[in-house]
Amino acid sequence: MIDPYGSSVLLPRFISNRQKRIELIKEASELPSIILNTSAAANVVMLGSGYFNPLEGFMGLSEALTCAEKMRAKDDLLWPIPVINVCKDVAAVDKSRRIALIDPNTDHNQVLAIMDVDNIEPVEAEQLRFMANHIFSTTDLEHPGVSTFINLGSHLVSGKVEVLNFSYYSSDFPSTFQTASQIRDKITELGWTRVVAFQTRNPMHRAHEELCRLAMERIDADGVIVHMLLGKLKEGDIPGDVRDSCIRLIADKYFPENKMLVSGYGFDMLYAGPREAILHAIVRQNMGATHLIVGRDHAGVGDYYDAFEAQEIFKDKWIKDALDIDVFCADHTAYSHKLGSIVMMSEAKNHDKSDFLLISGTQVREMLANGIKPPPEFCRPEVASILIKHYQS
């Protein structure tokens, strides 16, 4: 199986020994504590579940600035986006060397992790804007990732973490949320060697479905893992439980048994385009995938990135050499009236725009909200029924 990123074995920060975890939870109840913001909490879950291997915790300010500018963590490790814990108020933990990190997404002040504090440093607004500009290629507050990042707080708390639970993901998505280790175990159980990963924050339409088949065929893969993001999205995106139902329906009804795995991970969408595409590749290498599908406007939002910018970044030799996972580059896929099938538009000869079935996201949402199913060439009727129920509720 493909090695994890940056180490020969996966080194998740979750404390798997039950007795030790109970002892740490008891210790945490007596420690100074801070309530994390949702971005930092998502980072903790990713560290705990092994997806951010080989990182051990939150970066300090100097490392975060270098990471943002040059995509380098300590020891010259390629890392595209700083993993940071920025807080608005650190009075409760000032000068503390060991603190509890409280989950903002669950009730009763549940402890998410314990941190051994390296530094508590002020971070200036200009430094946050500097990092945002490198990460997102803009400081426009209309960009959902930028507006979140710039308003995280004024102090950066860094250090290694010992993760004690996976927030709400285990309870809200018990059949879908999996750690990188769990997915690796499943790949081994199935005997897969070439594994395609498909990242999604949307329900699967016919084009997504066919793209997974196409990638599997062209790289001769044993199977595909549809790996959905289960964390925070922007307003208007489809909630995780609805997406889960849609994707499982497709896997069960339209794919051969044991050819499509449906799984999810606990992270918030950043909408960071090419930088986030690299992060997606690291995450999928850590879970054991050998290939990641990177499509048109991957991890993008609005018009902030060029359509294929997230593919172009993988042509950089340093990035390519740092990763063991390969990228399957895909063009926009659509139904061809001429051919009677879904194709990659760039590969369809003697076609113009009118030869394709093209429906905008706005049109689809309006149709679903009005109880109208999109054409079956665009969306499976059963999936459309699930989405209509969601939009009309």
Residues that are catalytic: 201-202
> Length of the chain in residues, anyone?
393
Q: Where are the alpha helices (DSSP H) in the chain?
A: 18-28, 38-48, 61-70, 125-136, 144-150, 169-172, 180-190, 206-219, 240-254, 273-286, 309-312, 317-322, 361-369, 381-392
Backbone angles phi, psi at 146, to 5 degrees: -65, -45
Q: What is the distance in angstroms between the CA of the first residue and the CA of the last residue of the chain?
A: 44
Token pair for 348: 């369809």
Distance CA 131, CA 82 (A): 8
Asked if residues 268 and 101 have their Cβ atoms less than 8 Å apart, the reply is: no
Distance CA 260, CA 281 (A): 19
Distance CA 97, CA 119 (A): 9
Backbone angles phi, psi at 136, to 5 degrees: -105, -5
Distance CA 24, CA 112 (A): 11
